[in-house]
Amino acid sequence: MKLACQEGLVPGNSLPERLEKLAAWGYEGIEFWGGGIKERVAEIQSALKESSVRASTICAGFRGCLLDADPTQRDLAMQDIRDLLYVAGDIGAVGLIVVPIFGGPRLPNLTPLATPEQLERELLLKLLEDLVRTAEKAGAHILLEPLNRYETHFLRRLEQAAAICDALPHPNLKLMADFFHMSIEEANIPEAIRAAGKHLAHVHLADSNRLLPGQGHTDFKSGFTALREIGYTGYMALECGIAGDPAAELPRAAAYLKAM
């Protein structure tokens, strides 16, 4: 397993400076925000060429919504996701993190024909049939991210995202696990990881209070044990707040996580 950190958490005046700090602090990857990244490809490629730190992933940053009732919003999300998948391939990232929808449902309730959630599932599978072809051409993965109940009504547990992957088996469609969201939604984090293991391709790290690991009460050790058991060797990226000076807390978090 390799530690990564989101770019925005790292102090510095330039990407090369941030990469230098991450490498010195024990991080092997950096996760980029998707918004505006298309215009930064040359900058990122140049900086990574001079660093031991690799691009782990691109975190969302697309416009629109895949599961919106408005087709223009769906089309906007589809086009941005296609573009970001190619960027992920260009910078050598594992893939693009995709949240299908935030908040409540936007599709109609057609009960007894279909609930909004049933419609959403069928719509998502249909859209993913198109997107996985782009992901394959781009050499990147679509990483479905389950959130918690306060951020979405749809895909809140690893098993739900795994069911989408099972329904559309494709090597470029995977899921990711976020320890913060799992601390709210999963009854047993290690068991959830083991059950979804064959589809897992990325991990987000945040403690129970969404601060740095070690600044809350999440049991990371049992989760990491499960990750080792499933043979996970990918990136685990910090996506969290920081209580304190990042220049002191980020190296401390790396040491804490490696000790796990």
For 9, list phi and psi in degrees, rounded to 5. -85, -15
Two tokens at 67? 């599961």
Query: Is 129 an annotated catalytic residue?
Result: no
Q: Are strands 29-33 and 2-6 parallel, antiparallel or unpaired?
A: parallel
HSE toward the beta carbon, residue 54, CA cutoff 13 A:
15
- Is 239 an annotated catalytic residue? yes
213 vs 47: CA distance, rounded Å: 27
Catalytic member of 145, 185, 186, 249: 145
**Residues 6 or more apart whose Cβ sits within 8 Å of residue 128:** 142, 164, 168, 173
| Active-site residue identified among 20, 28, 239, 249 | 239
Looking at residue 241, the DSSP 8-state letter turns out to be B
Helix (H) or strand (E) holding 144, with range, is strand 141-144
Q: Which two tokens stand for residue 44?
A: 């990122």
Residues belonging to the active site: 145, 239
